[in-house]
Structure 1
Amino acid sequence: MDVFEVNCKGVTRKYLITVDHFSDFYELDILKDLSAKETINTCKKNFARFGVPCKVITDGATNFINQDFKNFSNDWKFSHITSSPHYPKSNGKAEVTVKIAKNLILKCFDSNEDIWYALLHQRNVPQTYSDASPVQKFLARKTRTSIPQTLEQHKHQVLKDIPESIKLRKTRSKQYHDRKSRQLSVLENGQNVYVKLFPEKEAIWYPGKIKERATERSYIIEVDGRLYRRNRTYIKPFFIKDTSSCTNKYNERESNENERYKAGFQYSYEYPSITPEANQNLQTLAPDVGEDNSNLSLSLPTRPKRNVGPPKWLSDYSS
């Protein structure tokens, strides 16, 4: 379940949407206000019409998180589960359905059409992955619309392949989701962490401490003496880096460099000795060099150099 507002032509209306997780069938109700009493009375009408659900998932809005709604869940025997604050993805089923309902309402306002008449036909539109409409999966039959149909098409009929098609769709969605996701580590009570308290407004990580694990993917965190509940996505552990191994590696590398540096000074180049035959040839080619070769300077070979000159396109240029 979720609550949303729609403003059309200066008129603001509040709606309560209740969607069935199996069939995608949703109920749309207009709320007079966002009080807990109004929300509970609307839920009672839906539960009396379709039956009491085993589990109800909502966000942490004030009309759901209060003592009256808690007493209502205890009296009507259903489990109430709340999603993580500032993490709409944890209540994704209701959020997606809110987008569908908003588009329907806005289109009806623009075209001056009846919302409930459009909702009747939308519930009977077959879905692509199962070839069955939400009302067929929810009530096991079609409801009568303005589209002409025979009486045989409105008879009760249990569709057998629906659970398999839903399971296949969820499996494919999970495979696409897991391509760019990873499993985060489990945090322990008392562990120091950093947490994003207001991810929509700021990207600041506050230091805190884990108090307890609220659900499988959310934790209760203490920050400056106050308790917050946040999803694991907005929590990262606080690690103290051990620099001893890095220091040892640096010292080892520095000692190796020193050894190489010292070895370089001990290295000496030995010039090749000139044989008598080479000396005689040298006297013939270069008579200015003495027999003791005192004027001969031997040098190590240098790197080859390319000829540097003006570019060819300046060859016809005259200054």
Structure 2
Amino acid sequence: MKTDHKPLERIFGEKREVPKMATNRLRRWALILSAYNYEVRYVPAKENSPADVLSRLPVQAGKVSNSERQPSGQLLNLRLTTLPVTRKELKSESCRDERLAKVITFMEKGWPERARLPDELKVYFEKKDELSFEDGILLRQGRIVAPTRLRDRILAMLHEGHPGIVAMKSMARFQVWWPGIDKEIEKHVNQCEPCQRNRQRPPEVPLIPWNVPTEPWTRIHVDIAGLFEDRYWLVVVDAHSKWLEVIPMRNTVSTCVIKRLRGLFAIFGLPKAIVSDNGPQFVSEEFEAFCDNNNITHIKTTPYHPKTNGLAERTVCLFKNRIRASSDSMDIELKLQRFLFSYTNSIHATTGRTPAELLLGRRLRTKLDLLKPSLDVHVDKKLLRQAEYHDRTSQFRSFAVGDKVYVYEPNEVSQEKGVVVEQLAESSYVVVYKGKRARKHADHPRHRFESFDVEPQAASRNEEDFGAQEPHCHQEGRRKWMFDTNETSRAPDDRGTERKLVRERRAPTRPYDKYLRNPMLK
């Protein structure tokens, strides 16, 4: 609706109530227009020529037939045709409802003081100038005030087709009202089991970086690269120095993997921990016995969550890309040797140093000889920056033992009901579902809400705010105590306490009248 009358844009604008001190004519217009979904838009008068022409060339008014009249009762019928209740039911339930009966009585005989009213009627007292009573039905600005016994049926009708919270509120805005309708709509949607099963996956939990070992070859990350160049590849990465070993393999059983690892341990020594996925060669009893006999802690990642072993996974991608980019005429062994030589003698983006320098403790003869900053500070800054990039779309989520959840299954659309029975780590849980126990990362389960009876609650004053009241989860910065950056051990500045600069002001050197003299007037 376009108009050159600017006040109408605010009076009948979207999500705005008619002012309490408005005239009866404005209230009548608002009642008639409430049956339509419209938007008031202001345009300059020169662009509103059709309305000006029609107002300046009036047609002689004739008699208006009864069929052209639109009494307020027809507007009420328009509301009732879209609700799953009849006029008779609405009238009878309105009379039976104790609260609505008291409200109707106060409208007819006068309202007492607000302090003398019970809490459940104070919200009606605040809306008393917007309430009206017609044909045995209570209205609020043309919207039907639903009795308590009919509210569940109305909510079920509004949720047909399983719309979201915002869509349900927008539909209810033009049809029906009662105190606390927004909260009941949110509760109805959140407790809808089909909606919970098929809801989109929640944002990922914040990234928890691995602690950086203080010594090389303390913790290594291993992974098996799939069939590539007609063979498998055992990838081993040192968490401290980022030293990389890639070993071609024809067979990936536990015996072959242990044999290759023994060869590396003979050169670099035994690590304190090995991080791997849940591949069959790593979860076998033979591999577990090998780790126990050598006093090595074996850390297995959460199933179907490769990000936990992100260092090895990312290195596998780097290895494959570099091999593909090499010349096709080159032998695969030569490609691998040149890749490892280039990688070992290149500055790593995380550490700021070459892997050879950090693991071997000396600089190799290379074509690049760059100045290298402090390792610990550089690594911590890079890890914090990586975590910040990841956490832009993440959302912190935790569970307690006994929490009811929905569990995501790989390659399945719907989720299964489960219960959290144990917490293994900050983001790792044991969930029982479908009669079995499974280890799940915090990205996989989601809280499950059960239906339960709730006493009617008084509505807040902001009933017309129909935006989705989704819980807002504030993401704080990455916790600094996870990293020992040694920032506090730096020497203080020799200049002492920093002072605030002050502008030096001087008086003008020329007489004031010369500044006002115009040379063009000479």
TM-score bin (small chain): 0.5 to 0.7
| Alignment-derived partner of residue 97 in structure 1 | 315
1:179 aligns with 2:392: yes
- Distance, in Å, in 2 between the alignment partners of 1:193 and 1:182 is 17
Preserved CA contact (<8 Å) 2:277 2:303: yes
1:1-319 aligned within 5 A: 1-8=222-229, 12-108=230-326, 110-113=328-331, 114=334, 115-128=336-349, 131-144=352-365, 147=367, 161-188=374-401, 190-198=402-410, 201-245=411-455, 247-249=456-458
Q: In 2, distance between residues paired with 1:45 and 1:210? A: 42
TM-score (norm 2): 0.42
The separation in 2 between residues aligned to 1:30 and 1:235, in whole angstroms, is 37
Q: Kindly indicate whether the alpha-carbon contact (under 8 Å) linking 2:350 and 2:383 is maintained by their aligned counterparts in 1.
A: no
- The answer as to whether partners of 1:135 and 1:143 remain within 8 angstroms in 2 is yes
> Per-residue deviation at 1:103?
1.2
1:270-295 per-position Cα deviation (integer Å, ceiling 9, x unaligned): xxxxxxxxxxxxxxxxxxxxxxxxxx
> Which residue type is aligned with residue 67 of structure 1?
E
**Alpha-carbon contact 2:243-2:355 (below 8 Å) kept:** yes
Over 3 Å counting, the alpha-carbon distance change for 1:129 and 1:27 in structure 2 is: closer
How big is each residue's C-alpha offset from its partner over 1:53-92, in whole Å with a ceiling of 9 and x where there is no partner?
1111100000000111111111111110000111111111
Q: For 1:72 and 1:20, locate their aligned partners in 2 and report how far apart those are by CA, in whole Å.
A: 19
Do the aligned partners of residues 121 and 41 (structure 1) sit closer, same or farther apart at CA in structure 2, a change above 3 Å counting?
A: same
Matched positions, count: 234
Report the CA distance between 1:129 and its aligned residue.
5.7
- Note the aligned Cα RMSD (angstroms): 2.4
* SS of residue matched to 2:438: strand
The one-letter code of the counterpart of 1:227 is R
2:81 alignment counterpart: none
Q: How many angstroms apart in 1 are the aligned matches of 2:448 and 2:226?
A: 40
Q: Conserved in 1, the CA contact under 8 Å of 2:352 and 2:379?
A: no
- Is there any run of 5+ residues in structure 1 with no aligned partner, and where? 154-158, 251-319
What is the distance in 2 between the residues matched to 1:30 and 1:244? 63
User: Could you tell me which residue of structure 1 aligns to residue 110 of structure 2?
Assistant: none
Cα distance change of structure 1 residues 126 and 210 upon mapping to structure 2, 3 Å threshold: same
**Contact 2:347/2:353 (CA < 8 Å) preserved in 1?**
yes
The 1-side partners of 2:405 and 2:350 are apart by: 43
Q: Which has the higher contact order (CA 8 A, sep 6+)?
A: 2
Give the match's secondary structure for 2:278.
coil
Letter paired with 2:393: K
* Compared CA separation, residues 144 and 6, structure 1 to 2 (3 A): farther
Could you state the TM-score of these two structures normalised by the residue count of structure 1? 0.67
Which residues of structure 2 form unaligned runs of 5+?
A: 1-221, 460-522
Q: Partners in 2 of 1:46 and 1:219 — Cα distance?
A: 34
1:109 shift after superposition: 6.1
SS of match in other structure, 2:279: coil
Aligned AA (1:195): V
Distance in 2, Cα, partners of 1:129 & 1:88: 20
Q: Give the counterpart letter for 2:407 in structure 1.
A: V
Alpha-carbon distance between aligned partners in 2 of 1:127 and 1:223, rounded to the nearest angstrom: 43
Matching residue's letter, 1:178: D
Greater radius of gyration (CA):
1
SS at match of 2:248: strand
Matches of 2:347 and 2:260, distance apart in 1: 28
